[in-house]
Structure 1
Amino acid sequence: MGPPNKSPFSVKIPLDGDSVNGHIQITKNGDYEMAQHFLLSPAAKTLSLAKILRMSDQDAEKAFRMIRWADTDGEPVCPECGCLEHYNLKSRPVWKCKGCSKQFSRTSGTIFHSRKLSIRDILGAIAIFTNGAKGYSALQLSRDLDIDYKTAFVLLHKCREAIGLARDAGALSGDVEVDGAYFGGYVKPANKREDRKDRRKKIHQSGKRQVVVVMRERGGRTLTHVGVSEAEGVAAAKANVATGATVHADEASHWDKLAAHFPIKRINHQKAYSLDGACTNQAESFFSRVRRAEIGTHHHIAGKYLAAYAGEMAWREDARRVANGSQFAMIVSAAAIAPKSDVWCGYWQRQQA
């Protein structure tokens, strides 16, 4: 993950009292400047969707080969035995390994194994997915690329799986904020007032409600865990937070158990959002992004897909100060090294909905 941009573009602020939104800074020569948000600066926009979609099939395939087989300058390597010796088949656009006699293509052995879309359309889909700050829906992608909804749905989930496999592992350190938020399990109220039930009671709930527990390292990585109750976050924190790290949590009683394992700071949100260095504001920032994705983009992120969406949003939050061109390269590289997906390869043929 690249570091934040340290030299954002700036614009002068007039000194006649006019109000301008932004952060005012004073330069060495005494001038007043407003620091421009990174996402609004030219440095954040290094990806051109138009250039990708204008690529020929040959150019797109060459670009993918250069990413997948970077160590051999794009020369194919057999995914079965690692042999460099091969020859082209005239009947189909694949290679045949001279070592093990296996046939393989540009995407064989990757998460896009057995793909039917052209490489250019796959790269275009990844570019579109990258630019969705709050995620991107399969329905809209199917319209943008004129492909079937099922194709778009699986392609985007393959991207999410590749991102999850490529993300940094290891324990979080320093100051780590933990919190949980519930998603899914909505129960529609009855039409007549006298027929309505108290949906806060377990007996009147659907049983499909799940919690996303986030563990966020200040200035570092974000990890997520999906469970039935927020109390499961205690075990998740023990497994993913390094010894000696300071944990920040709210006043929920289940977080009391973390005091035996970590230095812990608590914040009572009924009194303040931040007090004496204790806060969970960055965890709340993550949940804000997930809620925006749920309400404005996907409308429904729950069930067995919730962990995939939470992982995607954690990556987006961590890479929010990385140029979109670099984000695109991250996803393509992750997809090129990710193995064939056991979950998503042949997903619809198994009639999973």
Structure 2
Amino acid sequence: MRSTQNVGPQDMAQHFLLSSAARTLSLTKVARMSDDEARGAFREIRWASTSGDPVCPSCGCVAVYSYKSRPIFKCKGCDSQFSVTSGTIFANRKLPVRDYLMAIAIFANGAKGHSALQLSRDLDVQYKTAFVLAHKIREALAAEVEGMKATGDVEIDGAYFGGYVKPTNHKENRRDRRLAVNQNGKRQCVVIMRERNGRTLPFVFKSEAESVSTIAGRVAAGATVHADEALHWDRLHALYLTKRINHEHSYSEDGACTNQAESFFSRLRRAEIGTHHHIAGRYLSAYAREMAWREDHRRVSNGEQYLMMASAALAHPVSRQWKGYWQRPAID
């Protein structure tokens, strides 16, 4: 047997994130872009089908005028004026176009996510601005799987997030925080439906048992479901070929396992604890969908992720949730 005492990093199987194939994006190149170059990049990404030639977002006309005095366009068909971000999730922007490209590039580089506080420091903007900007990107990414149904082998599992309860100071006064009586009621369950070698669909519920009807609507007929031995999954047997795994005995047996679902939970858990430190209940679904996107594209280079995020943002319409978010009355 070969000794491992003198084995160096070059002799071991290299993780994808450590390889040169994972690094195809340079933040310095994006930061050095002029405003004209940034607008040109936006044009190439948004109107890729017309090689960057503007298309009217109101009527779809390709015949447009370009203004020399201002970076906007005018449609010859409907006379409407528009910019490179009009009708997108970045509509009515206040920051320079280059800053949005920088935000997307920085966001793409976060393997376990990127906090709004860090983004606000990177871009030198207010925390509120960075918070909304990051959530707009998350909304655009989540739209990719809107209405999608999971097919093939689908792993289903749930895990609880949020609602941290600080333990009592003295050991003799501590209680089991896993019990409902010792929790603060803010914990929510993220239930995952993950295709093997496919996409990941996360949803948020008060408990795992509440998710069965949603699973029936989002997992296609004919799929094979993999789940653990929790009693509420028994109802899935009437809908799908269901394989169960008892985690007290093994993590995989006869092809049944939920390892890929657990991999997603690991990523979300690390994002919550190590990156964001706290995720409020109303935003948990947005963070779960972001981590699902990152998990699905974990073998894609940061340059490709950057282009995919930018394309998703520029293809997404104006956000009804985040437009004017901080001007609304507070919600309890």
So what's the TM-score if we normalise by structure 2?
A: 0.91
RMSD, aligned α-carbons: 2.4
Deviations 1:171-210 (A, max 9, x none): 2222211000011223345667898777555455433221
Q: Who is 2:58 aligned against?
A: 80
Equivalent AA in structure 1 for residue 119 of structure 2: L
Q: Who is 2:44 aligned against?
A: 66
C-alpha distance in structure 1 between counterparts of 2:295 and 2:152, whole Å: 18
Q: Quick one: structure 1 residues 182 and 142, their matched pair in 2 at CA, closer, same or farther if it must change by over 3 Å?
A: same
Q: Who is 1:337 aligned against?
A: 315
Matched, 1:41 2:22: no
Greater shift after overlay, 186-195 or 304-313?
A: 186-195
Equivalent AA in structure 2 for residue 173 of structure 1: T
C-alpha distance in structure 1 between counterparts of 2:41 and 2:68, whole Å: 22
Greater shift after overlay, 77-86 or 317-326?
A: 77-86
Q: Secondary structure at the match of 1:220?
A: coil
Match of 2:7 among 12, 20, 36: 20
Matched, 1:262 2:249: no
Q: Who is 1:296 aligned against?
A: 274
Count of aligned positions: 330
Equivalent AA in structure 1 for residue 219 of structure 2: V
Match of 1:142 among 120, 129, 136: 120
C-alpha distance in structure 2 between counterparts of 1:78 and 1:286, whole Å: 40
Q: Who is 1:322 aligned against?
A: 300
The answer to whether the 8 Å contact 2:145/2:201 transfers is no
Q: Who is 2:203 aligned against?
A: 225
Match of 1:278 among 242, 252, 256: 256
Equivalent AA in structure 1 for residue 195 of structure 2: E
Q: Who is 1:238 aligned against?
A: 216
- CA deviation after TM superposition for structure 1 residue 240, in Å: 1.8
Q: Who is 1:346 aligned against?
A: 324
The answer to whether the 8 Å contact 2:138/2:287 transfers is yes
Q: For structure 2, which runs of at least 5 residues remain unmatched after alignment?
A: none
Greater shift after overlay, 108-117 or 79-88?
A: 79-88
Q: Secondary structure at the match of 1:99?
A: coil
Greater shift after overlay, 93-102 or 107-116?
A: 93-102
C-alpha distance in structure 2 between counterparts of 1:83 and 1:260, whole Å: 51
C-alpha distance in structure 2 between counterparts of 1:203 and 1:102, whole Å: 59
C-alpha distance in structure 1 between counterparts of 2:225 and 2:9, whole Å: 32
Deviations 1:150-190 (A, max 9, x none): 11111110000000112375322222110000112233456
**Sequence identity, in percent?**
65
Deviations 1:52-76 (A, max 9, x none): 1111110010010111112222222
C-alpha distance in structure 1 between counterparts of 2:70 and 2:29, whole Å: 28
The answer to whether the 8 Å contact 1:160/1:309 transfers is yes
- CA deviation after TM superposition for structure 1 residue 77, in Å: 1.6
Deviations 1:19-56 (A, max 9, x none): 53789xxxxxxxxx644222221111111111111111
The answer to whether the 8 Å contact 1:210/1:302 transfers is no
Greater shift after overlay, 50-59 or 202-211?
A: 202-211
The answer to whether the 8 Å contact 1:85/1:99 transfers is yes
Match of 1:123 among 101, 104, 114: 101
Q: Secondary structure at the match of 1:211?
A: strand
The answer to whether the 8 Å contact 1:250/1:266 transfers is yes
Q: Secondary structure at the match of 2:201?
A: strand
